[in-house]
Each structure stands twice: as structure tokens, then as C-alpha cells.
Chain A
Amino acid sequence: MNAARNAPGSVAVDDELWSAVGDPIRRRMLDLLLTGDGGTATTLSEQLPVTRQAVAKHLGVLGRVGLVHDTPSGRERRYEVDEAQLARAVAQLSSVGAAWDARLHRIKRIAEAIQHDRDEHDPDD
């Protein structure tokens, strides 16, 4: 996956963020962290069909894009979801739709102006 280079004129969407949550296991992990009010690699691996090592790796991916933050907790680290970052990603997503809404309305305006012109020049058409 390429770096964050969603086409300009569109809305900057962070590709890494999309990739981070593109994996079903990582989405499940976010679910568990949200409902469980945080968790550790151990508690997460107990609820998932993957090893603790795999969970730790996934947590690293989520951490790099700022979706989770960790604090020391005994011999482990405790992870929590960064809801502000989650909200930011959601906002980006709805912007993509809004950008196309604006473009479609411009298409409509331009096409209707052309049609209007042609009808005036050739009313029988």
C-alpha cells in the first residue's frame, strides 16, 4: 500500500490509517479494547484466535497510526483506543463523500447550462 497520497482535489485520507483498520483481526481488537475499556496483549489474545505475539504485532501497527496508546501495567503494557484519532478517521471518510457531492452538483450545473444553450438555439431539438 502506498503512503498517504490520496489524490488532491479529493480529500486527504490517510492511507496508513486505512490499512491499519483494514485487517479484520485489528478491527476486532479495537472492538475489544473499546468494550473492555482497554486491555493488554495477553487479555486480547485470550479472546482472539491468534497468539499473544501476533496480537503484540497488531498493537504495534495500531500504535504507529495513533489509534491506540499504551501505558505500563505490571509486567505488561495496557492499551487503550484513542477515540480522537478514530473520530478523525471517520471525519475524513465522510469528507470523501461530501467532496463527490460537490463535484456532482457542478456536473449538474454545467450540463444543464449546456442543455439550456442548445435548446435556445434549436428549440425543436
Chain B
Amino acid sequence: MEYGSIAREIRVEATPEVVYEVISTPEHLREWWPDEADLKPVPGATGVISFGVGTPDVKVEPLTVVEADPPRRFSFRWVYDEGRAAAPGNSLLVTFDLVPSDGGTLLRFTETGFRERGWEAAVLEEAYRDHASGWDHFLPRLVTHVARVVSRA
């Protein structure tokens, strides 16, 4: 089990083709996430997503498409230094898997790479493995989060 990750699953009453379109095309991306999106949903393509457009705090974030396999899987790397190539260890990997189910879609989401970034790995590893340790001091504050990760993993 990979502790340093977030995993979710949600059922969508729409075909995988429709869901794929929503998660991968710029015009839909900006409806559910950034203010602006400029990317081509093809493997290896780099693009940008922008937040706070029209404010003094506009932020432009690079993004690299890893897999684009309609209507089954779409994944990309983000949260890395601009000018560097996104790779394991310097970025977070977001993956959407689309599974057909009764005319609808099970949308499985994961975001990994936290292990390299330290914090989530530390928290989850200790919460799972070492209940007797000193992490118990703040474990009660973690329970909600861990329960969510486990129940939806």
C-alpha cells in the first residue's frame, strides 16, 4: 500500500466518454478547477493552468500530461518548478481512472508523490503502523483524514 497518496472514488451518472471530456479538455477543466487552462490532452504535452486571473495575484502553474487514453485514463504531473521537466520525486502525479459501470462511470482519482515531499508519508505511515508511538499525541486529530483515505481507497 502506498501511504503517501490521496485516493478517492466517485460514481458519475454519465458515460466514460463524457467524464473523460470533462476531466481532460481545457474548456471543461476551467469549470471545475483553474480559471484558465491551456493544454493539449496528449501524452507528453506541457501546458499551464492559471488561478486568480484578473487579480494582482495571478498564478500560472505548469502541468505535464503523462497518459491520455480516452475514455479510460488521464494522468498528469503538477506542482513542480517551472523550467524543470516533471518527473517522479519533483512533482505530484494526478491520475483519473474511468471504469464503466451500469451505464455510468466509476471515477477513481489518486494523487501521489507526497512520500517524496515528506509530510503525508510521515503522517500516514506512523498513523497506520505505529499507534503505540508518540504520534498518538496528535492522532485523534488525524483520524478523520485517515478514515477518509481508507474508506475510499
Residues of A within 8 A of B (CB): 1-2, 6-10, 13, 15, 17-23, 27, 30-35, 81, 83, 86-87, 89-94, 96-97, 100-101, 103-108, 110-112, 114-115, 118
Which of B33, B78, B142 is the one whose CB lies under 8 Å from A103? B33
B134 touches A34 (CB 8 A): yes
B1 proximal to A (CB < 8 A): no
Chain B CB count within 10 A is highest, among A10, A33, A83, A111, for A111
B10 touches A8 (CB 8 A): no
Residues of B within 8 A of A6 (CB): 79
B131 proximal to A (CB < 8 A): no
Residues of A within 8 A of B148 (CB): 94, 97
Closest to A97 in B: B6
Per DSSP, chain A at the interface is helix
Which of A9, A34, A107 is the one whose CB lies under 8 Å from B12? A107
Least Cβ distance of B139 to chain A in Å? Answer: 9
Residues of B within 8 A of A (CB): 6, 8, 10-15, 18-19, 21-23, 28, 31-34, 49, 51-52, 57, 59, 61, 78-81, 105, 107, 109, 111, 114, 116-123, 126, 130, 133-135, 137-138, 141-142, 144-145, 148-149
Residues of B within 8 A of A34 (CB): 133-135, 137
Closest to B127 in A: A90
Residues of A within 8 A of B18 (CB): 111, 114-115, 118
Given contacts A86-B138, A90-B142, A112-B12, contact A1 B22 (CB under 8 A): no
Which of A10, A13, A101 is the one whose CB lies under 8 Å from B119? A13
B28 touches A110 (CB 8 A): yes
Residues of A within 8 A of B109 (CB): 100, 104
Report the number of A-B residue pairs with Cβ-Cβ less than 8 Å. 139
Residues of A within 8 A of B149 (CB): 97
Which of B15, B119, B130, B141 is the one whose CB lies under 8 Å from A17? B119
List 25 A–B pairs whose Cβ atoms lie within 8 Å, in order of A's numbering: A7-B79, A8-B51, A8-B52, A8-B61, A9-B49, A9-B61, A15-B117, A22-B118, A22-B122, A31-B126, A31-B134, A31-B135, A86-B138, A90-B138, A94-B142, A97-B8, A106-B33, A107-B32, A108-B12, A108-B107, A110-B22, A110-B31, A111-B22, A114-B14, A114-B21
Q: What is the bound-complex CA distance between A65 and B23, given in angstroms? A: 36
B120 touches A93 (CB 8 A): yes
Closest to A23 in B: B118
